[in-house]
């Protein structure tokens, strides 16, 4: 018989996913507590089995330590472990011998959810040596059930979250994070749906939100061939002011006519025609690698491995692009899916139900059961 556990939920995705997951755990006899930090959190999960955090962030460590002792917490459930409050919780609970269930968006598209299991706060570290994956034993991968695009549903849920945070009663330190721009972006994304991008030929693709835009555009201007174009991918919608700043920098380096900003388009379709893809560390790079596109990652990323991404400098990359090794990627993808991915997503109702079922099996110690349908091919 499985031991009954006590699950502490912190901030989750902007959707009902955590609330539904909590309900499933309660139905199985486990204890559940969710801590809300703002009105957006409360919109998706409020009432019984929740508590509001109303103190400054500096006091959160002591607060969560006390909660863990009083409620005899055995498991911490979070979404996006880079979040400041989650980092504070992990640090405060490191001596409690608590199991951490770290959710995030799927690494391989919207048919997947990331769920990393950590014992006593130890973060999963994927090997960076390509030889590890080539030598790794082949595992039987779960078969994946596909879902229609959840982009509009995602925009709708995030719009609800931000509107609730903006107009709801302020009670948490995260309330100060709320501003009007995400709301405008998600309204535009929901109303527009997915656009078909109009693109030039012979283009490099890069994320619009690159860190140092001036140095990045200077590198393009000084090192790419003059017949090369640059497409900047905007997943949602940045402000007109930010777009104007980017084009102002491009004008300075005489490359404005070679730059196109694409917003709210299907990334897989845009990258299909690209010469290569450049990113800080976005997981979209895995889609590009799956399609055989050369990738340059400018920051730490799980896929920034010799054989998958270019290991040269950005200035060298414009004229020395190199396609990823298909066999290394296949072995890497299979290993990562088996270790960290579950079928489903956070925004489609049927996908949430599937992901919750798979997550609970993994969280309470049972082996994840594969779902039927065709195997993931990154197309």
Task: List pLDDT tens digits, range 219-229.
Answer: 999 999 999 99
- Which of 311, 331, 351 is at the close of a domain? 331
b vs e for 242-272, b when ≥16 Cβ sit within 10 Å of the residue's Cβ?
bbeebbebbeebebeebbbbbbbbebeebbe
- 183 plus 262 within the same structural domain: no
Answer yes or no: is pLDDT of 305 > 80: yes
Domain presence at residue 165: yes
Whether 182 and 271 share a structural domain: no
Q: Both 291 and 326 in a single domain?
A: yes
pLDDT at 210 exceeding the cut of 70: no
Q: Are residues 170 and 260 in the same domain?
A: no
The predicted model gives 32-39 an average pLDDT of 93
Is 277 in the same domain as 216?
Answer: yes
**Could you report the per-residue pLDDT of 272-299, keeping only the tens digit for each?**
999 999 999 999 999 999 999 999 999 9
216 falls in which pLDDT band (50, 70, 90)?
very high
Residue where one domain finishes, among candidates 331, 354, 370: 331
pLDDT at 379 over 50: no
Q: What is the pLDDT of residues 170-187, one digit of tens each?
A: 445 554 444 544 545 555
Let me know whether 211 and 179 are in one domain. no
Q: Are residues 281 and 301 in the same domain?
A: yes
Q: Are residues 211 and 310 in the same domain?
A: yes
What domain count does the chain have?
2
- Any domain includes 140: no
How many other C-beta atoms are found inside a 10 Å radius of the C-beta of residue 192?
Answer: 14
The radius of gyration computed from the CA coordinates of the chain, to the nearest angstrom, equals: 22
Collapsed DSSP state (helix, strand, coil) of residue 234: strand
Residue 112, classed as helix, strand or coil, is strand
**Whether residue 260 sits in one domain with residue 176:** no
The reply to whether 230 falls in a domain is: yes
pTM value surpassing 0.85: no
Whether 344 is covered by a domain: the verdict is no
Last residue of a domain, one of 161, 192, 223: 192
Assigned domain for 368 exists: no
Lowest mean pLDDT among 10-19, 346-355, 363-372: 363-372
Burial class of residue 233 (count of CB atoms within 10 Å of its CB; 0-12, 13-18, 19+): buried
Tally of CA atoms within 13 A in the half-sphere of 49 that contains its CB: 22
Q: Directed axis angle between helix 213-223 and helix 240-252, to 10°? A: 40
- DSSP E strands: which ranges in the chain? 6-9, 31-36, 50-52, 75-79, 99-105, 112-119, 203-207, 229-234, 259-263, 277-279, 295-297, 341-343
For residue range 56-102, list pLDDT tens digits in order. 888 999 999 999 999 999 999 999 988 889 999 999 998 888 999 99
The rounded distance, in Å, linking the Cα atoms of 147 and 13 is 18
Query: The domain that contains 209 carries what CATH number?
Result: 3.40.50.2000
pLDDT at 51 over 70: yes
The whole-number pLDDT of residue 376 equals: 31
Verify that 288 and 170 share a domain, yes or no: no
Long-range residue pairs from 307-312, CB within 8 A, at least 24 positions apart, any chain: 307/130, 308/130, 308/332, 309/285
Whether residue 238 is contained in a domain is answered as yes
Structural domain range at position 214: 203-331
Beta strand 341-343 pairing with 99-105: unpaired
Mark whether 235 and 289 lie in a shared domain: yes
Q: Is residue 211 in some structural domain?
A: yes
Rounded to a whole number of angstroms, the distance between the first and last alpha carbons of the chain is 42
Cα 260 to Cα 265: distance, rounded to the nearest angstrom: 13
**Does 257 share its domain with 318?**
yes
DSSP state of 97: T
Residue 235 in any domain: the answer is yes
């Amino acid at each position: 018989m499985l031991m009954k556990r006590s699950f502490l939920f912190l901030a989750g995705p902007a959707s009902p996913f955590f609330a539904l997951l909590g309900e499933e755990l309660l139905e199985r006899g486990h204890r559940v507590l969710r801590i809300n930090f703002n009105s957006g959190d409360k919109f998706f999960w409020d009432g019984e089995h929740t508590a509001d955090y109303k103190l400054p962030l500096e006091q959160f460590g002591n607060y969560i330590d006390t909660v863990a002792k009083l409620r005899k917490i055995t498991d911490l459930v979070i979404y996006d472990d880079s979040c400041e409050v989650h980092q504070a919780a992990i640090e405060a609970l490191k001596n409690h011998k608590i199991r951490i269930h770290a959710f995030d968006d799927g690494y391989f598209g919207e048919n997947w959810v990331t769920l990393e299991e950590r014992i006593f706060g130890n973060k999963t570290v994927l090997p960076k040596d390509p030889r590890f994956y080539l030598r790794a034993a082949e595992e039987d991968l779960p078969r994946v059930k596909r879902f229609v695009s959840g982009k509009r549903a995602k925009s709708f849920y995030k719009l609800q979250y931000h509107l609730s945070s903006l107009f709801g009663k302020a009670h948490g330190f995260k309330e100060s994070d709320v501003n009007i721009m995400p709301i405008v972006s998600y309204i535009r994304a929901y109303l527009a749906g997915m656009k078909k991008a109009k693109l030039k030929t012979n283009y490099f693709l890069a994320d619009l939100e690159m860190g140092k835009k001036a140095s990045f555009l200077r590198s393009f201007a000084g090192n790419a061939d003059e017949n090369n174009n640059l497409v900047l991918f905007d997943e949602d919608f940045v402000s007109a002011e930010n777009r104007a700043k980017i084009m102002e920098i491009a004008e300075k380096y005489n490359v404005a006519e070679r730059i196109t900003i694409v917003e709210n388009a299907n990334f897989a379709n845009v990258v299909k025609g690209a010469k290569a893809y450049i990113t800080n560390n976005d997981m979209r790079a895995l889609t590009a690698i799956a399609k055989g596109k050369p990738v340059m990652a400018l920051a730490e990323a799980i896929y920034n491995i010799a054989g998958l991404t270019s290991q040269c400098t950005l200035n060298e990359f414009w004229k020395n692009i190199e396609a990823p090794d298909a066999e290394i990627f296949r072995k890497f993808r299979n290993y990562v899916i088996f270790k960290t991915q579950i079928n489903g997503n956070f925004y489609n109702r049927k996908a949430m139900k599937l992901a919750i079922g798979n997550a609970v099996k993994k969280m309470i110690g049972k082996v994840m059961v594969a779902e039927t349908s065709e195997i993931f091919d990154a197309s």
